[in-house]
Structures are given as structure tokens and as C-alpha cells.
Structure 1
Amino acid sequence: MVLLAALLPASAAHAAVTSATATVFAPNPVQALGRQDLTDAKDADLPEFAAAYRRVTLTDLDGSGKLAGRYVVVKSSTGKAATLSGGAFPDWHRDADQFEQVMGYYWVTTAQHYLQHLGFGSTLRPVNQRQIQLRIDQYGGDNSFLREDKANITLGKGGVDDAEDAEVIVHEYGHSVQDGQVTGFGTTLESGAIGEAFGDYLAVAVTSWATGVPTLTPEACVADWDSVSYTARTPHCLRRLDGTKHYPEDVVGEVHADGEIWSRALWDIRTALGDTKATTLIVEAQFAFTPDITFAAAARATVDAAQRLYGPAAAQAARAAFTARGLLP
């Protein structure tokens, strides 16, 4: 790519760059370093973060020299927009706004590549193969969300900035995935809880696929860097996939809390069948969901997808996982 750039006029060389190196957390410093004592320190690039940075390749860029590509375009309200320099993105760290912009682009694209790795878009129907807008640091609270009406994701900047943790980014992309499969998904308590649970599950599945199953922190712990700002117990976890909640007695009427019932069932399916089969059938089942689907109906659809894709043994594993949570008889 560098040799090509040397032979072309400046404008043509710039447009030719559709992949470029950049620096990210993979997936976050708590997982990478196994340190539960890290703190945000107002975005300071302290020496303890040094070993958590990774140089990666951003793919599917549109050649504009900015963080815009086939699956995501990054928009940020703080700092200058990240732009290529000499065919690569500079080695920004967490004290630079551009670092979070790069994180957003890399992890949304990685999540889409994960889905394609499972066969979505080739042997199976495509899933969310659209360009979404990713808005970074445009919300001052410690929260992130999908706007279904505009199909864009906003990542907040309260506490640890959400775009510093890959699992927060991919969680929100999980909402985009479901909205792409079923427009307006999540209109009731139970369907909303399914949405939060799937986002947590996808966050762990994608980051483990991309960077390896963590060995220094529990894999089932979600967003263990972002959560240092609001949790006192260690390991720090936004939520976990391996909880013990059971339906209906543990329902409290809040989608994130109730989602832990569904996410544990997904976790058990993954444990029984392995990541590839489990996530494939879980995502494929969502094409049969409705915006207001119940736990029970979604569980039946997931068992049906397991049967259709992998046969009776997989269907039985899925059924057993939902039965253990009280979601199927």
C-alpha cells in the first residue's frame, strides 16, 4: 500500500487506502492486564495502561482518510476527527479523543466480521450489513444507547468513557443487530430484557473470538473496564452471563436486571454447543422474533432454530438451557 501511494498523485493515493493500522484496547485494559485496581483518572494515559494497547488493522475503510467505511461511520463532538497520516492512523492513546473514535470503528467492524465468520451474508441471511453512525462523546452521562429511528449508536462519556471498552461498543451493536433483523425490536419488558441480554452475550462472544478467551478475568464478566466507575466489588462487572436468576421469581421489572435470566440461558447453550454453533442458532432465531416477543416464544424460536440448523441434540441442549431458567416447561 505504501509503495502504491508513492506512485500515485496525492489525491489518488489517499483514496486508495481501504485498510490502515491503528491503536486500540483489545478488548479493554482490565481484561488485557488482569488488573482490578485500574481507574479512569480523568482519561490520563498512566504508565500502567501501556501494555494494554494493541496495534491492529482497520479494514473496510471507504478511502476518504477518515473513520468511515462499509459498516460504520464515526462521528464525534470532541476533538479533531481521526484522519490518516502517512497511510496509517497515529498511535493515539486514551488521553486523545481520537483513540475512542478508532475504538468505535474497529470494534463495530470486528463485530460484523464475527457475524460473517458464522456464515451470515454467505450461507445464511445477512445480518446488519448496513452502515451505521457511531456517535462518540455526544452524551455526557454514563450511558450508551441505540436510536432505532435513525439506526445510530451513541456512546456516552461519563465515568470511563464508554468507547474505551470494546464490550460496551459491541453490546450496543447487538441492539443494532436485533433492530436490523426485527425493526423496532424490544417494545415490552420481556423483549427489552432479551435485547439487553443478547447485547451482553454478543459482547463476550465477539471479544473472545477477536482477542482470545480471557485468562486473567472471568469470560462471563461483561464490560469489566467501563464498570470500574460504578462497582465496588471485584471483579468489576457491568453484568455477568453466568448468574443464577430464574423465571418468574427473579423478575424485577427492569430490562437489564431481567435480561440476566435470558443471557444465562444463552451462556449455557454456548457452553453446551461451542461458540460457533450456539451464536449461529441464537442469531438465526432472532429473524423469527417480533418486537414484543415473550421469553417463552423467543425460547421456542431458538429451540426451533437449533433443530433446523443442527438437529435434535442441539435442540435438546437449547431446550435444557431455557428449562433450567424457567423459560420453558
Structure 2
Amino acid sequence: MKERILALTAAVATVVSVGAAGPAHATPTGESATATVFFPNPVQALGLQSLVDAKDADSPAFAPAYRQVTLTDLDGTGKLSGRYVVVKSSTGKAALAVDGAFPAWHRDADQFEQVMAYHWVTTAQRYLQHLGFGSALRPVNQRRIEVRIDQYGGDNSFFRDDKANITLGKGGVDDAEDAEVIVHEYGHSVQDGQVPGFGTTLESGAIGEAFGDYLAVAVTSWATGAPARTPEACVADWDSVSYTSTVPHCLRRLDGTKHYPESVVGEVHADGEIWSRALWDIRVALGDTRASTLIVEAQFAFAVDTTFAAAAQATVDAAQRLYGTQAAKATRAAFVARGLL
């Protein structure tokens, strides 16, 4: 199974309107414009495990997967530049809005992936704000990051902590065509924003990969509704068709059976599935809002080289502080079940 690698030093990594939208208009946080995206990817949207990349070719099979959305927080330049993200691409002309709308590009146009990156990074930040970060709780990653589209030729994406930017590769299915790949990488940015340089050891790096997977599922389910046509716990259903042969296609899953320490293999993506299963179980027990809030809040207490055990205890402490004894017990039980406490 192909694995997504963070290949750089310590990076070892308004609710957005989704219905039919009108012309651009001023909002309290900036400008907005209509655009077309996958919502979150065509495999989830259509339930078709047989879709193939075919070198970026568009086809009628993809037509029902496209969705018109409203991009928010734009800076008014007409470009994909806004409060939380600026998009850069070297393989095609920069996307430009015309009369308050970006053209309805499809996957055979480089600009489609540019739009995808802008929309889903902004959606991820709006999800965090929906949880209370930046209002009832301290802000999380409310900085303007750069996302580079198709500037890496391999089937890989990564967050670069020294420049606080994300690169989305173009091997296989272009990574920016799958919202869960985009949000996974944004998860690394979130943790770096909370604990600069986070992820310097195998265990902390595994926690980083697991959180990216968890955030990818949480954000896309919140934005679109839990996918009914594919397993919710399956991460990156569309991107993974290029390198998996089993069905359903998944980069990784949140509901695996790995257990510490016997399942540890010394690779951050594989070992991260131990941590992500614990996060998944917390979400099942407490619901998305409470689980995701305490999971993110706990990360402020992590060290750059945190261990599984220390991070698990910090997460239990956050549950106790935010929601009381019963939530703390459920959180502890999830980590105990994985051998992490």
C-alpha cells in the first residue's frame, strides 16, 4: 500500500456555504465567489469504486460528483488568495474569478485543483472555528499558509514546517483532487501552529499522521454529511485508487485493530493507525464536536517529541477539563483499548 511521506526534517509533517450560490459579495471576513469542486471526492460522492484517473481525463462518469460552492475569505484580488490560504501553481495559469465567479473547471484543468485546495483549507479552518477555536477557545492555526499545487511530480504530498507551506503532488490521481489529502496535510499545519516543529520522533510523528487522517475525515463529514456510499473511516478514497487494488480503496483507515506495542513497526504512517483508532473511538463515544474539540485542545500541551503515553494523558486531561468525568473516562478507555495507557 502506498504511503504518504512527509519528507522534510521535523515535519515527520461562517460554515462554508455548499448549496447553489449567487454572485460574489462582501462578507464580514472578506470577499466570496462561486466555484466548482469535488465534494469531497468522486468516490465518496458517487460510491463508485471503479473510477480511474486516466491521466486527468474528465468523463461523464464524474459529472454528478461536481458541486458548486461559495469560496469565502477571499482578499478581493480575483485570485485564490485569502485570509487563511494563498494558492500557487506552476503547471497552469492561475485561477481568476470573473464577475464574482470562478469558471466551472473540471478535473482536466489545473485550475480545478487550485480551487479545491483553497476551498478545503478554508473549510478546515472554518471547522476548527465551528468547534470554538478563536472564540470560546484559543485560536488554532489562524494564519495564512501557502499551498503549492502540482509542483511535485511524485504521488506524494507534504507539509514543510520551515516555511509553513503545503505541497500537493501530481503523481497518480492529483492529490488536490481529493479533499481528504488536502485536509490531512492541513492537519500537520494545525499541529505545527500549536507546537512549532512538532513531530521529531517516531511516536510523535505517528501522532501527527494519525491526527491528519482523523481531521480529514472529521472535516469532510462535517462539510458534506457522513458519507453514506463509502465507509466513513476510509481515508482518501479517490487518491488511493492509483495505488490500491482492494475495495474499498483507502489510503488508511481510522477503524483498524492495531495495538501498542506489538503492532509497532517503526514507520510513522503505519504506527499512526494505533493512535487514529483511539481518536476514532473517542469520536464514536462522544460525538464529533466534543471529541474533536478535546483532541485539538489537548495538542497545545504536547511536546515536539511527545510519547504516545504522554499525549494520551494530555488528551484525557483535556476531556476532564472541558467536559467532566464521564468524557474523561470514555477518552481514557479509548487509549487503554489500544494499549496506549
TM-score by length of 2: 0.92
Q: Closer, same or farther in 2 for the Cα pair 1:309/1:158, shift >3 Å?
A: same
Q: Which structure 2 residue ranges, 5 or more long, are not aligned? A: 1-20
Q: Which has the higher contact order (CA 8 A, sep 6+)?
A: 2
Find the structure with the greater CA-based Rg. 1
Asked if 1:76 corresponds to 2:89, the answer is: yes
Q: Deviations over 1:9-62 (max 9, x none)?
A: xxxx9xx98100000000000000000000000000111000000000000000
Within-5 A mapping of 1:145-160: 145-160=158-173
Q: Deviations over 1:202-229 (max 9, x none)?
A: 0000000000000000000000000000
Q: Secondary structure at the match of 1:20?
A: strand
Asked if 1:220 corresponds to 2:233, the answer is: yes
Asked if 1:126 corresponds to 2:126, the answer is: no
Within-5 A mapping of 1:249-268: 249-268=262-281
- Residue 120 of structure 1 deviates from its aligned partner by 0.1
Q: Measure, in 2, the Cα distance between the counterparts of 1:23 and 1:185.
A: 34
Asked if 1:285 corresponds to 2:298, the answer is: yes
- Residue 87 of structure 1 deviates from its aligned partner by 1.4
Asked if 1:66 corresponds to 2:79, the answer is: yes
Asked if 1:167 corresponds to 2:180, the answer is: yes
Q: Secondary structure at the match of 1:43?
A: coil
Q: Measure, in 1, the Cα distance between the counterparts of 2:69 and 2:100.
A: 14
Q: Which structure 1 residue ranges, 5 or more long, are not aligned? A: 6-12
Q: Secondary structure at the match of 1:23?
A: strand
Q: Measure, in 2, the Cα distance between the counterparts of 1:237 and 1:30.
A: 10
Within-5 A mapping of 1:190-229: 190-229=203-242
Q: Secondary structure at the match of 2:31?
A: coil
Q: Closer, same or farther in 2 for the Cα pair 1:4/1:110, shift >3 Å?
A: closer
From 32, 54, 65, give the equivalent of 2:67.
54
Structure 1 moving runs of 4+ over 3 Å = 1-5
Q: How many residues align?
A: 319
Q: Deviations over 1:131-184 (max 9, x none)?
A: 000000000000000000000000000000000000000000000000000000
Partner amino acid, structure 2, of 1:281: L
Q: Secondary structure at the match of 2:167?
A: strand
- Residue 4 of structure 1 deviates from its aligned partner by 9.6
Q: Secondary structure at the match of 1:50?
A: helix
Q: Closer, same or farther in 2 for the Cα pair 1:323/1:87, shift >3 Å?
A: same
- Residue 316 of structure 1 deviates from its aligned partner by 0.3
Q: Closer, same or farther in 2 for the Cα pair 1:4/1:213, shift >3 Å?
A: closer
Q: Deviations over 1:217-261 (max 9, x none)?
A: 000000000000000000000000000000000000000000000
Asked if 1:243 corresponds to 2:243, the answer is: no
- Residue 2 of structure 1 deviates from its aligned partner by 8.6
Q: Which structure carries more helix by proportion? A: 1
Asked if 1:95 corresponds to 2:108, the answer is: yes
Q: Measure, in 1, the Cα distance between the counterparts of 2:30 and 2:225.
A: 28
From 318, 322, 326, give the equivalent of 2:335.
322
